[in-house]
Amino acid sequence: MISSLIVFSGAAQFTMVALLAAGAAPAGVLAGVATLALRHLPLGAVLQPKLTVDRRRRALVSWFLLDETTGLALTRDEPVERTLATSGGLAYLAWVLGTIGGVAGGSLASVEPLADALFPVLFIGLAALTATRRSDSGRAVLAGGACLALLLVWPGAGALGAIAVAIGVAAVVPAP
């Protein structure tokens, strides 16, 4: 839990856990995690010219500099820092709540298929955030809800079932 609160990176946490489980020295773990963090340099370099706030605020929103939030920030017409703060804040909340759920339900084998389908549902949510028309947002929300309903009724459908439902909803629900 503490790691998820202070390390907002799945890649870094999975690397840290794998290296620690393999018996790596602390310096090796640090080197592995630091190497992964280097990808933030080009992400920040791409966004830096688009930032309109002072250095202090840039430092604050840098906490939310992720691959996904950078992609969103580059495609939105609103200020980059607002997109980073909004999408990053929601992602961080989901990250921490997901960790709590994982710790609480980690010993329950029956939740494993639901956990497998988390990424498709997350990306459907991101689609809703990037939609430019209300109808597209509505379809994305409907697709996400249908995926969750499918997985509650049939957890074995997993990620592929969730993706199939999302595609089905997007293909069938008419645009106004």
Give the tens place of pLDDT for each residue, 131-142.
777 877 788 788
pLDDT in tens, 103-139: 777 666 666 666 666 666 666 666 666 677 787 778 8
Q: What is the pLDDT of residues 69-96, one digit of tens each?
A: 998 898 888 899 999 999 999 989 988 8
Q: Tell me the average pLDDT across 160-170.
A: 80
Domain ranges of the chain: 1-38
Model pLDDT, residue 144 = 78
Nearest to 118 by CA among 68, 64, 72, 163: 163
Q: List Cα–Cα distances, 17 to 3, 32, 101, in angstroms.
A: 10, 11, 18
